[in-house]
């Protein structure tokens, strides 16, 4: 009797917990089955850089749609793409991506308005500060205005500092001077008051001379009411070399009242990838997710691509790759599992 009763209770309890687990998955609760739903359950976005040109590949699109709840256009919103000639704007591939993301409830990070790289060549022919300010503020007004109301975030200025904390001598810095960043943020706010405005950079993930300089700038902007809402940490890491001060650094920026975000995450290694490095990569990814989750204002994590097949890494760092969560055949890597687990999935 007793045994039968226990068995029935046990059966009833296990089907109850199965039902609970299933509804948690559906609601994106604990045990959520995708990166986006698990991050969503923690109040975060898990995004990826997307190239519009790959959306026609069925596995690319289905992996994006299933796993991610945020997108950053990898190249489609950069200056050379959006204003190739002065005053001539082109938004085709960016619009396609925005429509794709909006139709699926994904949050979009606009990337990027003012950057020395992938700049339309005509900008480099400008010779006066006043003309460059006019070109820059018009570029921002037109591009941000075009997407007004559709993007959650904009990387307004990208990579304006050197590793030693001095300003990079871009054309903006040379012709306009230190004030170009502030001018860019003010123009972006005017063009879309609903988008959160970010400064974005690399090698600033840990506490160092570069992040100190960015910190001082953000502190100054906040105290003077210059509109800045978020700081993006690109996070193009080398396996085994995630800075130990990542969490503390994210937290000190968050303490200024801005959101912090991991915006271009990848963890590269020599190729072909060794098993040991793939295992180390899995723990690196989990540690990065853990750092973001530990900081309440860390609102999103974006990997710089979906699959190793299309990652920028091998083309930029010869002999390295395997930096993302899905391998070149869209197979989930150890880093995928550790990331999902770290998100609570
Ligand atoms: C990279 C893209 O992934 C490549 O496709 C492109 O050829 C060059 O730019 N920091 C950034 C990103 O802010 O825009 C860069 O993206 C990678 C480094």
For residue 22, how far is its CA from the centre of ligand 1 (angstroms)? 39
Q: List, for residues 126-165, the tens digit of each pLDDT value.
A: 999 999 999 999 999 999 999 999 999 999 999 999 999 9
For the Cβ of 76 lying below 6 angstroms from any atom of ligand 1, the answer is no
- The answer on pLDDT for 27 being more than 70 is no
**Among candidates 228, 230, 232, which has minimal Cα distance to 188?**
228
pLDDT of residue 13: 41
- Give the residue whose CA is nearest to atom 16 of ligand 1: 74
pLDDT of residue 89: 98
Please tell me whether residue 108 adopts helix, strand or coil conformation.
Answer: strand
Q: List, for residues 161-194, the tens digit of each pLDDT value.
A: 999 999 999 999 999 999 999 999 999 999 999 9
Where in the chain are the domains? 1-68+230-345, 71-201
Compute and round to an integer the Cα radius of gyration of the chain: 22
For residue 84, how far is its CA from the centre of ligand 1 (angstroms)? 17
**262 - beta bridge partners?**
233, 301
Annotated active-site residue in 76, 159, 205, 259: 159
Ligand 1 pocket mutation pick from 117, 159, 235, 305 by most atoms within 8 angstroms of CB? 117
Query: For residue 78, which atom of ligand 1 is closest to its CA?
Result: 14
CA separation for the pair 237, 19 (Å, rounded): 40
For residue 238, how far is its CA from the centre of ligand 1 (angstroms)? 16
- Give the residue whose CA is nearest to atom 3 of ligand 1: 312
For the Cβ of 261 lying below 6 angstroms from any atom of ligand 1, the answer is no
For the Cβ of 264 lying below 6 angstroms from any atom of ligand 1, the answer is yes
Query: For residue 304, which atom of ligand 1 is closest to its CA?
Result: 3
Q: What's the CATH architecture for 71-201? A: Alpha-Beta Barrel (3.20)
Interhelix angle 129-146/180-191, rounded to 10 degrees, is: 30
Q: List, for residues 74-111, the tens digit of each pLDDT value.
A: 999 999 999 999 999 999 999 999 999 999 999 999 99
**Among candidates 177, 173, 16, 151, which has minimal Cα distance to 71?**
151
- The answer on pLDDT for 15 being more than 90 is no
Tokens 């990652």 correspond to what residue? 311
Local confidence band at 18 (pLDDT 50, 70, 90 cut-offs): very low
Catalytic residue at 159?
yes
Tokens 């075009």 correspond to what residue? 146
Quick one: average pLDDT of 12-25?
Answer: 42
Tokens 């619009």 correspond to what residue? 95
pLDDT of residue 17: 43
* CATH class belonging to 1-68+230-345: alpha beta
For the Cβ of 158 lying below 6 angstroms from any atom of ligand 1, the answer is yes
Quick one: average pLDDT of 211-240?
Answer: 99
Q: List, for residues 296-319, the tens digit of each pLDDT value.
A: 999 999 999 999 999 999 999 999
Contact 282, 338 (CB under 8 A): yes
Tokens 């040379």 correspond to what residue? 174
Local confidence band at 32 (pLDDT 50, 70, 90 cut-offs): confident
pLDDT of residue 3: 40
pLDDT of residue 30: 54
Annotated active-site residue in 67, 76, 83, 264: 264
Query: For residue 305, which atom of ligand 1 is closest to its CA?
Result: 3
Percent of the chain's residues with pLDDT above 70:
91
Percent of the chain's residues with pLDDT above 90:
90
For residue 78, how far is its CA from the centre of ligand 1 (angstroms)? 10
- Give the residue whose CA is nearest to atom 5 of ligand 1: 312
**71-201 matches 1-68+230-345 in CATH topology:** yes
pLDDT of residue 20: 41
For residue 149, how far is its CA from the centre of ligand 1 (angstroms)? 25
Largest CA distance in the chain: 92
Query: For residue 236, which atom of ligand 1 is closest to its CA?
Result: 18
């Amino acid at each position: 009797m007793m045994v039968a009763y226990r068995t029935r209770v046990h059966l009833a309890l296990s089907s109850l917990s199965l039902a609970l687990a299933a509804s948690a998955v559906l609601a994106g609760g604990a045990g959520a089955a995708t990166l986006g739903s698990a991050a969503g359950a923690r109040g975060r976005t898990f995004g990826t850089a997307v190239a519009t040109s790959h959306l026609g590949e069925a596995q690319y699109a289905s992996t994006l749609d299933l796993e991610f709840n945020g997108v950053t256009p990898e190249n489609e919103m950069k200056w050379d793409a959006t204003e190739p000639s002065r005053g001539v704007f082109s938004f085709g591939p960016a619009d396609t991506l925005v429509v794709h993301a909006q139709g699926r409830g994904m949050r979009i990070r606009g990337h990027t308005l003012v950057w020395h790289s992938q700049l339309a060549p005509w900008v480099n022919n400008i010779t006066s500060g006043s003309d460059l300010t006019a070109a820059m503020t018009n570029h921002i007004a037109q591009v941000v205005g075009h997407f007004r109301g559709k993007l959650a975030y904009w990387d307004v200025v990208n990579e304006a500092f050197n590793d030693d904390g001095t300003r990079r001598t871009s054309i903006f810095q040379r012709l306009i001077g230190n004030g170009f960043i502030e001018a860019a943020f003010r123009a972006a706010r005017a063009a879309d008051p609903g988008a959160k405005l970010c400064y974005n950079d690399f090698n600033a993930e840990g506490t160092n001379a570069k992040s100190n300089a960015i910190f001082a700038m953000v502190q100054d902007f906040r105290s003077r009411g210059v509109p800045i809402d978020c700081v993006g940490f690109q996070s193009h890491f080398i396996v085994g070399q995630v800075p130990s001060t990542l969490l503390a650094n994210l937290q000190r920026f968050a303490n200024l009242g801005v959101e912090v975000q991991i915006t271009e995450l990848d963890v590269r290694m020599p190729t072909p990838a060794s098993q040991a490095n793939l295992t180390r990569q899995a723990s690196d990814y989990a540690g990065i997710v853990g750092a973001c989750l530990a900081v309440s204002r860390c609102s999103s994590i974006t990997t710089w691509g979906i699959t190793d097949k299309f990652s920028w890494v091998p083309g930029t760092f010869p002999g390295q790759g395997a930096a993302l969560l899905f391998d070149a055949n869209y197979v989930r890597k150890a880093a995928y599992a550790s990331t999902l687990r770290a998100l609570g999935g």
